Chain A
């Protein structure tokens, strides 16, 4: 009973529930601050970090501006290495391709590494529908699979779960003994998963990077489960978003250093695997390697010069940890699989602004996301762009007397005419007279200011404006 559908319009409700739930609120607060601090510590003593960011950004720019070339090069090299490349335009196509491969391999189980693309295309639902059992092997994914939830964070899918929550899930779903010792919880998951790695006929992973020059799929992890998923089963399937390409193997050094530090504050994650084709005679590894190249909305963003930069993202999660809004409302409030500042860009782009029109507004535009982004994506600026897209293509039904656009037309008309502005201010001073006490207004009943005065007082207009006082200065 995993969660499907898009709930981005419920951001106020789900976010509000998270804020009001002390346990959940604390889980988000402490985890994001921990990751944010780890990142800060790992980059502050590293003089070359700014140069790395520039190099990473430049490599991504090169790929995204010449994506057709690099896609062709990557695909040719994968095939040359003995792998098979599949092209999928939509989520349905990704699922169909994967189900077909699993069926041909006559496998009943698929062991899965953590992959956001699989979440995005809802692969588990498709596999289950085809009678195939998807087994999540990343600890965080394993936990949320048991809970029937979506990832709460791009890097740490179960970041919102306390050890007691995890214990509850293990007791309920896999007959484990109750414990809240992290090592014991990990051991329980390990025992449950170890057997599956041996049994499953297909292993499925995503890709952190795809090297065009060599046709290599690169995965980065700390648990070792990805290496198992991609080497033990007879068949390996890698889902690769088309934006995951990097030009050369030499660029990888830039990106793995950026990713580790930005995501978790590690100089290097525990395992970095470079998968270049299936097994060769006399070697270990899968007999078949399938690489599924996924569009699912990415080409649409590529075609939009205002949004193209979004495709530079390496999914490190740093912007989530830095975001004061994400820290409060948590990942599920964003209503789909991607959350935080980058989610507020990706979701409207992939599912359409009409289904996610609130997301670009769920930001104070503070810019903390851009400050930590390893490839310097100008997230606040793109949120502003999406706000104007939302107002043009998906205006919000309003609670106010006057819908937003006519209200802002009126506002602009007043602001263009200083005499009207002065007159408006004069009327407002009369109007506030019965409401204001000692310079403060406790309640303004009309939306949207009513939203201000629910929990804040509103300052009364000064008895005299600056322009009136200026005459006496």
Chain B
């Protein structure tokens, strides 16, 4: 069987703030004998503009994404939120243009969030990773409720050697990031984040793990400011550890 060809959609957050997440994804996929490519013409999926109500601006950015990945078998992104943008909300952006909508539907069939891709497409649950720490998994809302992925990250984590995966109270509750919500309503976003951090520390976990750069950036920023004894980490970073 020919190697599956995967084009990375690395997301602007991971590109600029968390490049180690992208590197971890590359490492894992290559170990699984996947042909990984990265098209440097990519930037952002358009979500910030879409979520702030600027659909024309979002569409102009999203249009490029439709063109960039035409010849990949699969497109994989280490973010539930950006994946939901493409898989769910692109349909709305292009609903009035039949040609672009067709292209959009075609891309949506090949576009996957990272953990979802591993478990549902490659059917891999054990990556031979090792991470001897207690961790708790935070469901990011878009991955959980727009894409309906809650099991894949947990299956992958459970198979990590030495890991102690514990669930926190209200693990399905939003952490308060919400994209531009975090700066439009900081007075609400921050206490929501504090609740999440409190729930995570209650479990005695060393690490809060999530599959979305947005949640992690918000929670890590709060943790760092407040000096809480909790670390944040992206799912891919754990899965790449040996």
Binding site for B on A (CB under 8 A): 12, 15-16, 19, 324-325, 328-329, 360-368, 370-371, 381, 384, 387-392, 404-405, 408-409, 411-412, 414-416, 418, 421, 425, 428, 440, 442, 448-449, 451-452, 454-459, 461-462, 464-470, 473
Further contacts, 5 of them, CB under 8 A, given A366-B173, A416-B43: A324-B173, A365-B142, A387-B53, A388-B55, A466-B15
A-B contact pairs, 22 of them (CB 8 A): A15-B187, A19-B191, A325-B185, A364-B141, A364-B176, A364-B189, A366-B174, A368-B145, A384-B89, A387-B51, A404-B52, A418-B42, A448-B180, A448-B183, A451-B184, A457-B225, A459-B217, A459-B220, A459-B221, A466-B38, A467-B10, A473-B23
CB distance from A193 to the nearest CB of B (A): 37
What is the bound-complex CA distance between A464 and B61, given in angstroms?
A: 24
B14 within 8 A of A: yes
Bound CA span A306–B144, Å: 24
Find out whether the CB atom of A19 lies under 8 angstroms from the CB atom of B177: no
Is residue B4 contacting chain A, with contact meaning CB distance below 8 A?
Answer: no
B45 to A, closest residue via Cβ: A415
Closest Cβ–Cβ distance, residue A304 to chain B (whole Å) = 15
A456 and B221 within 8 A (CB)? yes
User: Closest residue of chain A to B222, judged by CB?
Assistant: A456
When chains A and B are docked, how far (Å) is the Cα of A324 from the Cα of B146? 17
Choice from A366, A408, A469 contacting B19 with Cβ under 8 Å: A469
**Nearest chain B residue, comparing its CB with the CB of A392:** B53
Which of B54, B60, B92, B144 is A391 in contact with, Cβ under 8 Å?
A: B54
Interface string of B49-69 (1 = CB under 8 A from A): 111111101101100100000
Shortest CB-to-CB span from B6 to chain A, Å, is 14
B58 and A412: CB pair below 8 A?
yes
Residue from the list B50, B218, B224 in contact with A384, Cβ < 8 A: B50
Judged by a CB distance under 8 angstroms, whether B124 is at the interface is: no
Does B135 lie at the interface of the complex (its beta carbon under 8 Å from any beta carbon of A)?
no
Q: A411-B57, A473-B23 are in contact. Are A461 and B188 (CB under 8 A)?
A: no
Q: Which residue of A lies closest to B216 (CB)?
A: A459
Within 8 A of A (CB), among B185-239: 185-193, 195, 217-218, 220-222, 224-225
How many B residues touch A, CB cutoff 8 Å? 68
User: Which residues of chain A are near B100, meaning CB under 8 Å?
Assistant: none
Number of A-B contacts (CB under 8 A): 188
- Assembly CA distance A388 to B177 (angstroms): 20
Decide: A470 near B40, CB < 8 A? Known: A366-B141, A464-B19. yes
| CB-based contact B52/A466 at 8 Å | no
Q: Which residues of B contact A409 (CB under 8 A)?
A: 57
A391 touches B52 (CB 8 A): yes
Which of A12, A390, A415: most chain B CB closer than 10 A?
A415
B10's partner among A367, A448, A466 (CB-CB below 8 A) is: A466
Q: Does B121 contact A (CB under 8 A)?
A: no
Q: Is the CB of B15 within 8 A of A368?
A: no
With beta carbons under 8 angstroms apart, the residue of A367, A425, A451, A470 that contacts B141 is: A367
* Among all A-B residue pairs, the 9 with the closest Cβ atoms: A364-B178, A387-B53, A366-B174, A456-B221, A367-B145, A391-B53, A366-B141, A466-B19, A412-B57
Which of A416, A461, A467, A470 sits near B64, CB closer than 8 Å? A416
Contacts of A361 in B (CB 8 A): 180-181, 184-185
Which one of B20, B53, B179, B193 has the greatest number of beta carbons of chain A within 10 Å? B53
Contact between A364 and B17 (Cβ–Cβ < 8 Å)?
no
Cα distance A282–B183 in the bound complex, in angstroms: 65
In the complex, which residue of chain A has the Cβ closest to the Cβ of B190?
A: A455
Contact between B141 and A466, CB atoms less than 8 A apart: no
A449 / chain B contacts, CB cutoff of 8 Å: 183
B60-A416 in contact (CB<8A): yes
Q: A466-B15, A467-B40 are in contact. Are A366 and B22 (CB under 8 A)?
A: no
Docked complex Cα distance between A389 and B54 (Å): 9
Instruction: Name the one of B18, B185, B225 contacting A455, with C-beta atoms under 8 angstroms.
Output: B225
- Alpha-carbon separation in the docked complex, A62 to B140 (Å): 35
Tell me the chain B residues, 161-184 only, with Cβ under 8 Å from chain A.
Answer: 172-174, 176-184
Query: Is A408 within 8 A of B182, CB to CB?
Result: no
> CA–CA, A449 to B49, complex, Å?
16
Determine whether the beta carbon of B190 is less than 8 Å from that of A12: no
